[in-house]
Amino acid sequence: MTSEPHTRFPRLYLHLFATAACVLPVASYVLATFGWRPGDIGVATAIAAIAGTLSSPAWGWLDDRTTWAPRAAVLCAAVACVAAALTLGRTTHAVTWAALALFGVADGPLDALLTTRVLASGFHGSRLGRVRAFGSLGWVVGLGLAATVLYLWPDHAEWVWGVAALTAVTAPRSWGDRGTAGHDDRAGRPSDGRTPLPIAAVLRVLAVTFPTSMAMSTLVQFTAGWAHSELSAGPFLALAPIALSAALELPVFPWVDRLVRTRPPLIAAVLAGPPLALATGLLALFPSSVTMMAIQPLIAVSFALLFVGQSRMLALAVPADRQASAQTLGAALSGGVGGLLAGVVGGHLADTAGYDALFASLVLVALAGTTVGMVALYRARRQRDAEPDDAARTAPEQGSGRTRV
Tell me whether residue 132 is exposed, middle or buried, using C-beta atoms within 10 angstroms of its C-beta: 0 to 12, 13 to 18, 19 or more.
buried
Rounded Cα distance between 143 and 150, Å, is 10
Query: pLDDT digits over 73-102, tens only?
Result: 999 999 999 999 998 888 888 898 899 899
Residues forming a β-bridge with 319:
189
Mean pLDDT within 316-324:
83
- At 343, the pLDDT band (50, 70, 90 cuts) reads low
Residue 397 has pLDDT above 50, yes or no: no
Higher pLDDT, 182 or 25: 25
The answer to whether residues 320 and 182 touch, using CB atoms and an 8 Å cutoff, is yes
Report the mean per-residue pLDDT for the chain.
81
What is 196-390's CATH superfamily?
MFS general substrate transporter like domains (1.20.1250.20)
The per-residue pLDDT for 403 is 34
CATH T-level fold of 1-176:
Growth Hormone; Chain: A; (1.20.1250)
Rounded Cα distance between 111 and 102, Å, is 16
Rounded Cα distance between 117 and 11, Å, is 13
Query: pLDDT digits over 180-218, tens only?
Result: 443 444 444 444 445 567 888 899 999 999 999 989 888
Delimit the CATH 1.20.1250.20 region(s) of the chain.
Answer: 1-176, 196-390
Residue 234 has pLDDT above 50, yes or no: yes
Of these ranges, 57-71, 120-134, 191-205, 358-372, the one predicted with the greatest mean pLDDT is 358-372
- At 53, the pLDDT band (50, 70, 90 cuts) reads confident
- At 335, the pLDDT band (50, 70, 90 cuts) reads confident
- At 238, the pLDDT band (50, 70, 90 cuts) reads low
Higher pLDDT, 245 or 175: 245
The per-residue pLDDT for 69 is 84
